[in-house]
Amino acid sequence: MHPELFRLHVASWERPIQSYGALIILGVTLAILLGIRRARFYEIGRDDVLHVGLLGVVGGIAGAALLYILVHLSEFIADPSLFRQQPGLVFYGGLVGGAGSAYWYCRGYGVSMVRMADLGAPSIALGHAFGRIGCLLGGCCYGRHLDQHHPLSVFLADDWRHPVQGYESLGLFAICVVLLLASRALRPRPGSLFALYLGLYSLLRLAMETFFRGDDAERGKLAGVISTSQLFAVAALLLLIFLFWRRRPHGA
């Protein structure tokens, strides 16, 4: 598509600016600004939101890369030189890594982790939406074959394909809007907004993986049946169903 956004020229120095990295930076910036703007509704300091946001980015990238290495561990063992290259990223690993960093900060500074999670839910969806645009421009995470005459088809990986990254990005923007609209009503029920985000995104990801993703040969599947992202999405949905069942009114 358009992996290189532009080239930066300073005197005799030249450096390409990659679309993927630029969109991630834009998404992270807007996500943190959105969180800072909403901080007062959850009685959380703006500095705390900024610190958790920055730590979440570091932990998220580390977690996403680590999960990618674990999923492709046999390839890394067979060819150790892969450790010196830029690893791929798996979103659910990033979510766990970012959550771990946020928990470490919140526990250390006496900030409510549950309120922070509710506050951050729309921001996570917003930042992720821009990241998926970066995927589309960079040409990774591509979709299945689609007739070249279809108005939505894009040419990636030597074929005309579904712009699945764009589909997911639109879905994430929609999730962000839904969460913002629902935040006031769900504020008296701590944890509910983040649970709503997790449920909506898991359903979106299952739909993308099941019907539109086309890079299974590169990513591989566990036991040749289910992708890592599908497994995490199903596990998240089952966990939410269990928690909802546990919290239902007695005698319901």
58 pLDDT higher than 90: yes
On whether residue 20 sits in a domain, the answer given is: yes
Number of domains in the chain: 1
CA distance 97 to 93: 6
Instruction: Read off the pLDDT of each residue in 42-59 and give the average, rounded to a whole number.
Output: 96
DSSP code for 249: P
Beta strands in the chain (DSSP E): 4-10, 13-18, 154-156, 159-161
> Is 198 domain-assigned?
yes
Tokens standing for residue 106: 């919140």
Determine, yes or no, domain membership for 187: yes
Q: Which residue in this structure is represented by tokens 């951050």?
A: 120
* Residue 159 belongs to domain spanning: 4-247
Which residue did the predictor score with more confidence, 206 or 15?
206
Task: Please name which of 175, 169, 178 lies closest in space to residue 212, comparing C-alpha atoms.
Answer: 169
pLDDT of residue 77: 86
Q: Phi and psi of 143, rounded to 5°?
A: -95, -175
Q: Is 182 a member of any domain?
A: yes
State yes or no: pLDDT of 251 exceeds 60.
Answer: no
Q: Please check whether residue 24 lies inside any domain of the structure.
A: yes
Tell me what pLDDT residue 169 has.
97
List, for residues 132-156, the tens digit of each pLDDT value.
Answer: 999 999 888 889 999 999 999 999 8
Q: Is residue 252 part of a domain?
A: no
With respect to residue 236, please indicate whether it lies within any of the assigned structural domains.
Answer: yes
Q: Please give the backbone phi and psi of residue 145, each rounded to the nearest 5 degrees, phi first.
A: -60, 140
Which backbone phi and psi does 7 adopt, to 5 degrees?
-115, 135
pLDDT for res 178:
98
Indicate whether 189 belongs to any domain: yes
Mean pLDDT of 161-186: 96
Answering whether pTM is above 0.75, one says yes
